[in-house]
Amino acid sequence: MSLSTIACAINKYMAAILIGYVVLVSSAQAGTKLTLNSGTAEPFITEDGGGFYGEVVKEIFSRLDIDAKVIRLPSSRSILNANQGIDAGVIARTKGFEKKYANLIRVPSAIVKFKFVAYSLDETIKVTDWDSFAPYSVGIIRGWRIYEKNIRNAKQITKVNNADQLFKLLLNGRSDLVLFEYYRGSWWNKHLNAKAYLIGSPIAEKEMFIYMHKKHAALVPEITRVIEQMKQDGTYEKIKDKTLMVDMKQ
């Protein structure tokens, strides 16, 4: 048998192995079911797994032939579940979580940008930076570090446990301003019929990311590619407009 014949046979054998591998991986991926979690509530994720995160995740993974869903958990439990591999990943956390949670890998393309804003029943109030809160009584949610760190010179600071209590500070006249995230704040403002005004521009903005457990590391480049694809083809904006209260967007 000539060398060329042997080489040809080897190439055919390697090609058959490669094709078999691709088919095997594709079949396994098609049958995969993944659960991601989130510590955020409406409008990002609803009790039935819908909302912005639910629809975005469904679209991302459907393009990868993977059945995926998002469940809602308490914030601290959500990150622990993802880090322990109980859930495949967590959505959405700020950059740098991988330094504390070694089992998590950040998907480089941001899934959303949080806008940190103020609401008031008095539309004449003006705030432009952290120092401009000094003359006012301010309400914040306990544990929101961005506010606990930066709101230090306000006339009065009242901490509450959830969004419902936060907006009721305004409604009961106990705070001049309450500080929250824009999309969630807009949802709660409408949900409670608080009729609060959005005061000024966002005081801060932060990009938020999906983190996947390291056992799903091979998916991270593919998830990144699909998110960028969705942003380019308009799918991302359509989901955002549908789920994040387009009538109140800034």
Based on the domain organization, do 101 and 10 belong to the same domain? yes
Based on the domain organization, do 104 and 223 belong to the same domain? yes
* 115-133 pLDDT per residue, tens: 999 999 999 999 999 999 9
DSSP reduced 3-state for 108: coil
Based on the domain organization, do 52 and 176 belong to the same domain? no
Output helix, strand, coil percentages for the chain, rounded to the nearest 5.
45, 25, 30
Based on the domain organization, do 133 and 86 belong to the same domain? no
Nearest residue to 190 (alpha-carbon basis) of 238, 138, 245 = 245
Number of domains in the chain: 2
Query: In this predicted structure, what is the pLDDT of residue 48?
Result: 86
CATH number of residue 232's parent domain:
3.40.190.10
Query: In this predicted structure, what is the pLDDT of residue 65?
Result: 97
Based on the domain organization, do 160 and 231 belong to the same domain? no
Cβ–Cβ < 8 Å for 203, 146 = no
Residue 98 phi/psi, 5-degree rounding, is -65, -20
Q: What is the pTM of this model?
A: 0.82
- Give me the domain span that covers residue 24: 3-112+207-248
Based on the domain organization, do 122 and 69 belong to the same domain? no
Query: In this predicted structure, what is the pLDDT of residue 114?
Result: 96
Based on the domain organization, do 137 and 199 belong to the same domain? yes
Per-residue tokens: 2: 């000539």
Based on the domain organization, do 17 and 101 belong to the same domain? yes
Other beta carbons less than 10 A from residue 26's beta carbon = 11
Stretches where the chain sits below pLDDT 70 are 1-32, 245-250
Other beta carbons less than 10 A from residue 100's beta carbon = 9
Based on the domain organization, do 101 and 211 belong to the same domain? yes
β-partners of residue 167 are: none
